[in-house]
Amino acid sequence: MESENRSLLLEGAKAFRVHLTEATLEAFALFLKELVKWNQKINLTAIRTERGVVIKHFLDSLSVCPYLPKASSLLDVGSGPGFPGIPLKLADPSLRIVLLDSVQKKVDFQRHIIRTLGLKGIEAVHGRIQEREILQRMGDRFDRVISRAFADLEVFLRLSGPFLTEGGVAVAMKGGLEEEIGQDLTGGEQVRYRLQETVAFTLPFTSLKRTLLFFEGQ
């Protein structure tokens, strides 16, 4: 990782009260190198530059880190090439994470990174959250279900509910504050949610608005 990108990652993480060790920075550097290399052959992300990946993927992922309890279990839905799950694991190795994505090539890349970095307590699973087999395998298992991928907040909440432990929290990573937050977000007949917390911020080194929404099942 070039010194400029390294500084961006280090300083941007500090803005989220996340301290990255030397070993963690080296792991991020290898993650970045592999993502750029794979992305030249198969389309993993539309963001092509190293700087773009550092800011719009790595730092965006780390924004939620201060709000996750230590050693909590996390399901990352629609993880793509591993966001936010892999950066969160690098920043806090105590987290127990399952990455879920429906695109096999992205899951293959996730597994490659997990092996390459020697990560423990993180698993990449191919499938959709809607699938019965996925629910049977992983239902009621997670303290947190998180996603950057769902456009429709109500659908995300409805599908997340069955995967949460009692008292679990669904975390939606969104752009700016959106009209849909004002909806009657029931999550369907089976699960109702209460908006627990809203965290709005500007992504470091950009003018991009971001919002973290935390929903507690009721």
DSSP letter string, the chain: --HHHHHHHHHHHHHTT----HHHHHHHHHHHHHHHHHHTTS-S-S--SHHHHIIIIIIHHHTTGGGS-TT-EEEEET-TTTTTHHHHHHH-TT-EEEEEES-HHHHHHHHHHHHHHT--SEEEEES-TT-HHHHHHHTT-EEEEEES--S-HHHHHHHHGGGEEEEEEEEEEESS--GGGGS----SSS--EEEEEEEEEE-TTS--EEEEEEEEE-
- pLDDT at 181 (0 to 100): 55
Which pTM does this prediction carry?
0.93
Domain count, the chain: 1
Range of the domain at 51: 3-217
Mean pLDDT for all residues in the chain? 92
At 64, the pLDDT band (50, 70, 90 cuts) reads very high
At 139, the pLDDT band (50, 70, 90 cuts) reads very high
pLDDT mean over 8-35 = 97
CATH number at residue 198: 3.40.50.150
